[in-house]
Structure 1
Amino acid sequence: MDIRQLTPDLAVSSQIQPEDLAGLAAEGYRVLINNRPDEEVGTDIDSDAMRAAAEAAGLSYYFNPFTPGQITPEMVALQAEALAQDGRKFAYCRSGNRSTVLWALTQAGQQPTDDLVDAAARVGYDISGIRPLIESLAR
């Protein structure tokens, strides 16, 4: 797993496997957020498989699929709901970038845009292209 600690309570990653979840729970993660659409994966790692594995590991599970270029207010709201849960959160998609983008959008208006873009860059994600969207949501 390519775990990148975005904030003290949130790590993001590229695609994980069901067998990874017991280890994540043992590391103190309590919430799993799947931002990868089922259309991108096989049934061995689709939302049903990951939900079952998350529940077996004692993790709360959120499925919030993000197809590139198709961000909706509902997606941002669901990500915010998941991120508001108690405990450490772990979000993943194909590369971790979409999970990072959704995190930044949930923080619009709560943190300066530069801080959000910089935090993403520190863990290897360039989200500068969504700067106008973050600023629009912050207003």
Structure 2
Amino acid sequence: MDLRQLTPDLAVTPQIQPEDLPALAEAGFRVLINNRPDDEVGPHEDDAAMRAAAEAAGLEYHYNPFTPGQITPEMISAQARALASPGPKVAYCRSGNRSTVLWALTRAGLEPADDLIATGARAGYDISGIRPLIESLAHRGR
């Protein structure tokens, strides 16, 4: 696994496998957020398989699929609710970028856009292209 820490209680990662989840739980993670749409994966990694594996490992599980270019206010709200769950969290998608984008959008208006973009960059994700959306959400007060 390629865990990249965004905050003290949130790591993002590229696609993980059901057999990775016991190790995540043993490492202290309590919440798994799946941002990968089912149409991008096979049945071994789809929502049902990951939910079952997460529950078997004792992890709280959230499915919030993010298709590139299709961000909605509901998706941002769902991610914020998942991120509000207690304990250390792991969010994943194909590369970790979409999970990072959603995290940044949940923080719009709470942290400066420059800081959010810099945090993404430190984790290896260039999210500078969403600066206008971060600033728009911040301006509206989300």
Q: What is the CA-CA distance between 1:91 and the residue it aligns to?
A: 0.2
Report the secondary structure of 1:43's partner residue. Answer: coil
1:76-91 matched pairs, under 5 angstroms? 76-91=76-91
In structure 2, the partner of 1:73 is 73
Q: CA RMSD in A?
A: 0.3
In structure 1, the partner of 2:107 is 107
Q: What is the CA-CA distance between 1:20 and the residue it aligns to?
A: 0.3
Q: What is the CA-CA distance between 1:80 and the residue it aligns to?
A: 0.1
For structure 2, the residue ranges without an aligned partner over 5 or more in a row are: none
TM-score by length of 2: 0.97
In structure 2, the partner of 1:133 is 133
In structure 1, the partner of 2:60 is 60
Q: What is the CA-CA distance between 1:18 and the residue it aligns to?
A: 0.2
Report the secondary structure of 2:90's partner residue. Answer: strand
Cα distance per residue 1:34-78 (max 9 Å; x no partner): 000000000000000000000000000000000000000000000
1:96 aligns with 2:96: yes
Cα distance per residue 1:7-52 (max 9 Å; x no partner): 1000000000000000000111000000000000000000000000
TM-score by length of 1: 0.99
Q: What is the CA-CA distance between 1:117 and the residue it aligns to?
A: 0.1
In structure 2, the partner of 1:29 is 29
